[in-house]
């Protein structure tokens, strides 16, 4: 596993319950500014039994990027953390994690 991937995992693990981070913000905090797609690919390849809070990562518009069942699971996990959706969007002014 690359040091960059490990850095992304470390940052993701710090995102607190009730907050979200965008793919781009996550990549930047992991030392790869402008690499939102890279962050998405890393997360897409997480093992299904991961303990990392992958569900707290959303796109820059405040939306869940994954359609279908995966997106429904992500939304459910976020709602359990009291994150509210309005018109299928999360208000980033309210919920974006700023370390």
Tens-digit pLDDT profile for residues 65-78: 988 999 999 999 99
**The pairing of beta strand 21-22 with beta strand 89-90:** unpaired
Say if residue 38's pLDDT is above 90. Answer: yes
Report pLDDT for 1.
Answer: 83
Say if residue 12's pLDDT is above 90. Answer: yes
CATH number of the domain enclosing 31: 1.10.10.10
Question: Comparing C-alpha atoms, which of 90, 31, 13, 81 is closest to residue 58?
Answer: 90
Find the domain containing 11 and state its range: 3-95
- % of the chain with per-residue pLDDT over 70: 100
Rounded mean pLDDT of 26-38? Answer: 97
The tally of domains found in the chain comes to 1
Say if residue 37's pLDDT is above 90. Answer: yes
pTM for the whole thing? 0.94
């Amino acid at each position: 596993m690359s040091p960059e991937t490990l850095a992304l995992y470390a940052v993701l693990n710090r995102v607190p319950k009730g907050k979200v981070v965008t793919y781009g913000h996550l990549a930047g905090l992991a030392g790869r500014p402008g690499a939102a797609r890279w962050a998405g690919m890393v997360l897409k390849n997480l093992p299904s039994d991961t303990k990392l809070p992958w569900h707290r990562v959303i796109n820059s518009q405040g939306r869940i990027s994954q359609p279908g069942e995966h997106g429904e699971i992500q939304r459910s996990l976020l709602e359990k953390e009291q994150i509210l959706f309005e018109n299928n969007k999360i208000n980033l002014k309210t919920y974006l994690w700023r370390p």
